[in-house]
Amino acid sequence: MKKITKAEATRAKKLLDRYNKQTNAWLGRDSYTCICCKEKEVKLLMPHDGIRDLREQQQEMWRDGTVFKVFFGYGSKLDMDGFFMGLCDDCALELEEKRIVVNIGELIKRARKYDPK
């Protein structure tokens, strides 16, 4: 097999990057309305290069909140459906304060301190 040169590899990588950009246009949303207050917007933090995986929008960086994905399972009317949802920082903190949601970090701290004696 003929060896390729570093220059050929660099050209091939650039061509592949261009191909990925033209075939993976970002179709995801740039913002989500908070599902709790239904007012505040959770917005995409960084401009998009169009080569991210649409199925993993929760892994993007979101300003003033987060986006998460939820799948419904057996027993739900929405079995097999999945959704992306936004939640603003203020609502997450309010829900934590009201003990409607659980802060995972705090839960782990409590578990480490737990002494069953």
Q: How far is the CB of 38 from Zn ion (least distance, A)?
A: 7
Please identify, using beta-carbon distances, which residue of 32 and 57 lies nearer to Zn ion: 32
Residue 99 CB coordination number (10 Å): 8
Rounded Cα–Cα distance for residues 10 and 26 (Å):
25
Helix (H) / strand (E) containing 66: strand 65-71
Site string for Zn ion, 25-64 (x = CB under 5 A): ---------x-xx--x------------------------
Contacting Zn ion within 77-96 (CB under 5 A): 88, 91
Q: How far is the CB of 87 from Zn ion (least distance, A)?
A: 6
Spatial contact of 6 and 24, defined as CB atoms under 8 Å apart:
no
Rounded Cα–Cα distance for residues 34 and 86 (Å):
5
Please give the size of the binding site for Zn ion, defined by CB under 5 A.
6
Residues that bind Zn ion in the complex, under the rule CB under 5 A: 34, 36-37, 40, 88, 91
